[in-house]
Structure 1
Amino acid sequence: MADALLGPAEIRELAGRLGVAPTKKLGQNFVHDPNTVRRIVTAAGLTPDDVVLEVGPGLGSLTLGLLGTAAHVHAVELDPVLAAALPETVTARADVTKLTVHAGDALKVTAGQLTPPPTMLVANLPYNVAVPVVLHLLSVLPTLRGGLVMVQKEVADRLVAGPGSKIYGVPSVKLAWYADSRAAGRVPPAVFWPVPNVDSGLVHFSRHATPVADVSRALVFRIIDAAFAQRRKTLRAALAGWAGGADNAEKVLLAAGISPQTRGEALTVTEFAAIATAATALGHGGKLSPTGRQHEEVDS
């Protein structure tokens, strides 16, 4: 695998030949350090039978590392120039028959597009869409058993935060709906081209069973959105807009066994699911969060 990986010189040469200049709009920061690629592949805990989904392969640094371990790699690339060039890059260094390139938006990926079905998500995700991409793929790809993603360090910290933490928020709870997560290390800016002005972090996650059976995920997520839209307020106040009034919110919370004076940042995903179950039983299903926002981004 060592000889197949791309170093700084190869990355620059390849980008120059393709006429590619990394853009902030697409969140492009290409990994050019082979040791970092090896570290990511190792931390992912892949087996030879795994089918990997990689989002944003760019010039192919991580792709080549993944092909050295996995049975197959699906690479989803938004930039049409990079998507078209990836098979040629792989052909010169690895088994291209193990690669399928999908030119398009990862936020529009469906299970029917990916054969064989992916079992692991391993990716250096663009900072600006990292959380939405992870949550979308977990929602539409039930075959994913887990994954390892590299994201902005601040985002990584929020994804793995637990109840009671100041950085615990919408991304933390929604990821916890699907999976157990943990921090898997820090990545310095110097391993990227261009060099970002922040550190990156690795997040490992393993899918688990739905926290509460027979409850609508959409309803649970609306409650989470409402609770953190006004995170400094008590749940009685924060959920008033969703429940049709503070009194209704209080009734739902009491039925769920949760104090109306609690704040959302103190609840586990199981407790949010309990609120949804109680709301359904009482007929307070809610329609929108108080702001109408869908909090898939990092919530402050």
Structure 2
Amino acid sequence: MEMRAASPGRTHYVGAVEARTGKTTVHYVEHGSGRPAVILHGAGVDHRESEACFELAFAGATGIRRIYPDLPGMGRTPAPVEIRSAEDVLTVLLEFVEQVSGDEPSWLIGHSAGAHFALAMAERHPTRVAGLALVCPLLPGIRDVPEHRVVVGSGGLGDEEFRGYFVVQTPEMLERYERFVVPGMELADETAMERIGERWELAPGEGTPFDGPTLVVAGRLDSTVGYAAALDLADRYPHATAAVLDDTGHALPHERPELLRALIQDWLDRVSR
């Protein structure tokens, strides 16, 4: 790739960027210009899944610089042995956001495990976060997780991972899975993920809860994390909008893109105000 001039600590490429932190070098891509929005993907994939889903959700929005990093141990961001827990990953992400956003508060969005980190970042450093959006968040104390159930399709498409992830199993969803999910799965450092996964919980932040505009979106058929624990966040955060979407699961950003876009657009409006 062609290298471009960069500010200290950042290497710019055509289509890709890297930011050096104390523990690793974070690979990311970005789109647009303006206020920084950092979007974090889930476990076992890379930035391509969140990019494919949330670029649709940001369609039509202006003045927003969308930043999609690969989390440590996934995509092109390595996880050296010094990264041994979710707390270590959180340290990397906090340093990364400080580098890419400078003094300007960021908009944080996370899906699944990415939401777990986004929530902790907002709790630990609320003044650095302008708004928080959590989609199918991984949370401590998840409960009432439903059995996996297919609502569209015969259940015979794709591989086992696809059939266990999507509840809408159409050729279109299979194409999205093979294009945006599988490539990241193939790059995942399983040893690093297992090491970090053994210490995946993050301590809650001290002081008052994050009081900025918050969005929580969950799938009623999410057989990975459920939706009950996500709804608890509506009572904790004073400016939260919470939605549980029927007939969708953990792959909600793929399965209900138009409804997610409407919720994200409303959240963006609230943050802007």
Q: Same fold (TM over 0.5)?
A: no
The structure with more helix, counted as a fraction of residues: 1
TM-score (norm 1): 0.30
Structure 1 or 2, whichever has the larger Rg, is 1
TM-score (norm 2): 0.32
Which structure carries more relative contact order (alpha carbon 8 Å, separation 6+)? 2
